[in-house]
A and B are shown apart, each in its own frame.
Chain A
Amino acid sequence: MAELRLSGVKKDYGGHSVIKGVDLDIRHGEFVVFVGPSGCGKSTLLRMIAGLEEISGGTLEIGGKRANDVSPRDRGIAMVFQSYALYPHLTVAENMGFGLSLRKTPQAEAAKRVARTAEILQITHLLDRKPSQLSGGQRQRVAIGRAIVRDPSVFLFDEPLSNLDAALRMDMRMEIAKLHRNLGATMIYVTHDQVEAMTLADRIVVLNGGVVQQVGRPIDLFRNPCNAFVAGFIGSPRMNFLPVRVESVDAGMARVAAPGIGPVTVSAGRIAAPGQAILGVRPQILTPGDAEGRCLLHGRVALLERMGTETLVNIRLTDGPSVLAVVPGDLELSPDQDISFSFSPSDARLFPASDLPDPSAIPH
């Protein structure tokens, strides 16, 4: 069994705190994705689980045993690196069998395991090649193969797809999902790509500044983000954030308004008193035109991106910020055209203004 338990795990580099106390339980066979902007500590956290970084505080348990001071080779983990980290002087077969040969696994047994893994990953024809003779996607398969051969209880992936082109990334994403289904092993996967996180994860851990923001199923994070950071990070394109004023709060509902918006009544969320707040509106809930009970936004088309299946409209509101709307189908608009969009208040989310001290800091 390979469940992991992190309790109060911390990492300091000479007084500078990178991971500020992470508590997390990962069940056996679960696919957990760490996601967050660069520098949020997700890779560091993964490397601490791998044993490549020392744990400054708290405890890490693997399979119920404290693993803080266990060396990487005794943790029962395998890791796939962003750079693949294949041994350039060894063939594909030797790369995959490296860990087995270090453990003095009988040669026949090792060869069998390498062959079986190569078959799963469809790289049998590459076994005699050197890494330099492989394409990026093939190298990635070998790196994954090297991990599978060792039959670890926990797989760690450190941004494994970020060096691949878009089409290949999608293929490999599906392969990894399939692999997880077939192997049933615990997998921890680090990425800054929220699409990878949404599609692969059983549960997503959103990190920012070394602090866990929210843990949950992808769809729960999408529907009920606990704060504006998570709301901005999960979902693509990013959620629109509109500064508003809360006029009154009553029975879990808040009445908010801003120049050009409302007044409109939305779910209060964490807001308890009148004051400044942020209204989160996903681009997909904005539709052209107006209807009864919807909240109207007026503006001009600033930028139009026609994808065929959907149209991205960047609208500069008459009274302030820009918002992005994603409309299904093709929409013929011309730049600078006057336009009205509306959304249903029940689809909008309200966040305290303190969630976004600097709204431009959210990536995407």
Chain B
Amino acid sequence: MRKTTFLGVVPLLAPVQLLLLVVVILPSIYVVWLSFHVSSFGQAPEFTGWSNYLRVLSDPAFRGAMWNTVVIVVVAVHLEMLMALGMALLFNSGIPFRRILLVAVLAPYAVSEVVAVAMWRFLFDLDIGPITLLMQGLGLPVLEWSYDPVDATVMIVLLTIWMHLPFTFVILYAARLAMPSDLYEAARIDGATRLQCFWRVTLPLMGPAILVALLFRYIFAFRMFSEVWLLTGGGPARSTEVVAVYLYQEAFSYNAFGTASATALLMVAASLVLASGYIWLLRRQVKNAR
């Protein structure tokens, strides 16, 4: 057998490492460096220490964006989780036309975000949107998302749930499918009602899958950009801005690359905190399940 040495393997790994270096590692280091400098077009970067971070953290627009992000993340991710769980259990319980419905549920994931937002803008258009007209026809309140901040937020939440539900659903549905049916038979014989089966068998056993889905969705949702940027642009009057949109504005509207970089690193920090909490829970869960 031929012996593989470390040096023999390096050339094979090099292309991937090089790619990572160029598109991930170097830019990351550059962003860290930038976050400690004042920088804009036509101006030599100038070291300022932590002042970019202080500026961002004391900016009311950033705090507003952070608050919006947290609200949208918490509401959207948990609503989505409940819906996905309900749907996974519904699909598992044997509904008719399961295959066709499965395709229908998964379809939004195949739609590009830009197309999805354009579609929703049309559907909910205040003058000609079919859904707006339908709601009006039924005498229901209309989502005035283009000028009411609350309605706009609701719209963003609905849109992001619609776009990401397939992801959560697939994870939970797969987890439910993987559960052996004889556990339920044993539970039925042990005397469990359907509700008791859910609370005492299904939920604990799906726990790890739910946590994984939540973790991913928290991180995805935290860096949500296109839904907000394309739908409301952060408006009206920056009232629906989320952190990623704030970052974009700083970088490309105000050309303040230093504060934009600081914002990005603050997002990373926040995501890490979120993720580490979940990973801790996950490890405990997995250890318990074993």
List the interface of chain A (C-beta within 8 A of B): 50-52, 71-73, 77-79, 81, 83, 85-89, 98-99, 102-103, 130, 132-133, 146, 150
Contact = CB atoms under 8 A, between A and B. Distances in A.
29 contacts: A50-B185, A51-B188, A52-B185, A52-B188, A52-B189, A71-B188, A73-B189, A73-B190, A73-B192, A77-B189, A79-B185, A83-B180, A85-B182, A85-B183, A85-B186, A86-B186, A87-B183, A87-B201, A89-B207, A89-B288, A98-B190, A99-B191, A102-B192, A130-B288, A130-B289, A146-B186, A146-B190, A150-B190, A150-B191
Contact of B191 (A50, A83, A103, A132): A103
Given A85-B182, A87-B201, A79 B290 contact: no
A88 B180 CA distance: 11
Contacts of A50: 185, 189
B277 interface: no
B182 A78 contact: no
B86 interface: no
A89 B196 contact: no
Nearest to A88: B289
A73 B188 contact: yes
Most interface-central of B187, B191, B204 (chain A CB within 10 A): B191
Contacts of B180: 83, 85
Contacts of A78: 189
Contact of B188 (A72, A83, A133): A72
A175 B196 CA distance: 33
B161 to A, nearest CB: 29
A133 B186 CA distance: 20
Contacts of B188: 51-52, 71-73
Interface residues of B, number: 20
Most interface-central of A50, A51, A78, A85 (chain B CB within 10 A): A85
Contacts of A73: 188-192
A85 B187 CA distance: 9
B189 to A, nearest CB: 5
A79 B188 CA distance: 10
Given A87-B201, A88-B205, A81 B182 contact: yes
A50 B187 CA distance: 12
Contacts of B207: 89
B130 to A, nearest CB: 42
A132 to B, nearest CB: 5
Nearest to B183: A85
Given A88-B289, A89-B288, A81 B185 contact: yes
A42 B204 CA distance: 33
A99 B190 contact: yes
B185 A85 contact: yes
B185 A130 contact: no
A102 B182 contact: no
A51 B187 CA distance: 12
B165 to A, nearest CB: 27
Contacts of A83: 180, 182
A42 B257 CA distance: 74
Nearest to B203: A89
Contact of A102 (B190, B288, B289): B190
Most interface-central of B190, B191, B201, B207 (chain A CB within 10 A): B190
A99 B189 CA distance: 8
Given A81-B185, A83-B180, A130-B290, A89 B205 contact: yes
